[in-house]
Amino acid sequence: MEYALDDIEREIIEKKYLSPNRIKDINIYPELGLNKDQFYEYKRQAIFSIAEALNIV
């Protein structure tokens, strides 16, 4: 099982959940050069990978 996040997934998690400021999704995905659908797919996969690593799912 692979738990490592790719660069885009890691950046999404850092910006969305680990930054001191509350940043909305709509402000993150253009900065990463993603469209809305791509962003939410990366975000979903990142959260799922973290949940697997923590044995939540």
Domain boundaries, the chain: 7-53
**57 band by pLDDT with thresholds 50, 70 and 90:** confident
Tell me how crowded residue 39 is: count the other CB atoms within 10 A of its CB: 19
The predicted-structure confidence for 6-50, as pLDDT tens digits, reads as follows 999 999 999 999 999 999 999 999 999 999 999 999 999 999 999
**DSSP assignment of 7-56, as one string?**
HHHHHHHHHHHSSSS---HHHHTTTTT--HHHHHHHHHHHHHHHHHHTT-
pLDDT of residue 47: 96
Show the tokens assigned to 43. 């975000």
